């Protein structure tokens, strides 16, 4: 479980803006979700989740990464700040980030 202290420390460093929103990633034991958040207004610009998808966590991570990249392209967003939410940058978090990069997002 990720501690609240670690998440708070991350939020103090990583901040999204209108021109460069924050790509926040959350993972549970079975699913993943990603959101593009504008911290200056506190609004979610785009989101993607693997709740309705079937398959392995790796396949779900690839799906969420490509979906968030498509949603960002529709919202005309090219550059984001990556917020891994205190999760280690390996496994499904890394796969999601790589798929988002393939989809056209710049970190």
Please report, for the domain that includes residue 76, its CATH number: 3.30.420.100
Distance CA(85)–CA(104), nearest Å, equals 22
- How many independent structural domains does the chain possess? 1
Domain membership flag for residue 46: yes
Q: Provide mean pLDDT across the span 67-77.
A: 96
Structural domain boundaries, residue 32 = 16-102
Instruction: Examine the pLDDT at 36 and tell me if it is beyond 90.
Output: yes
Ramachandran area for residue 75 (φ above 0: left; ψ -120 to 50: alpha; else beta): alpha
CB count within 10 Å of CB 49 equals: 17
Q: Provide mean pLDDT across the span 96-101.
A: 97
pTM: 0.88
**Rounded-to-10 torsion of CA 83, 9, 20, 28:** 20
Instruction: Examine the pLDDT at 1 and tell me if it is beyond 70.
Output: no
Domain membership flag for residue 2: no
Collapsing DSSP states into helix, strand and coil, what is residue 63?
Answer: helix
- Hey, which residues does 37 pair with through a beta bridge? 22, 44
CB count within 10 Å of CB 43 equals: 11
């Amino acid at each position: 479980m990720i501690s609240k202290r670690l998440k708070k420390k991350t939020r103090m460093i990583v901040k999204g803006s209108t021109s460069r929103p924050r790509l926040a990633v959350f993972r549970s034991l079975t699913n993943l979700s990603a959101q593009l958040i504008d911290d200056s207004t506190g609004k979610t610009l785009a989101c993607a989740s693997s709740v309705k998808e079937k398959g392995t966590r790796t396949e779900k991570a690839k799906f969420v990464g490509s979906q968030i990249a498509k949603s960002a392209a529709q919202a005309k967003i090219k550059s984001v700040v990556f917020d891994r939410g205190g999760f280690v940058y390996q496994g499904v978090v890394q796969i999601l980030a790589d798929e988002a990069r393939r989809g056209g997002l710049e970190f």
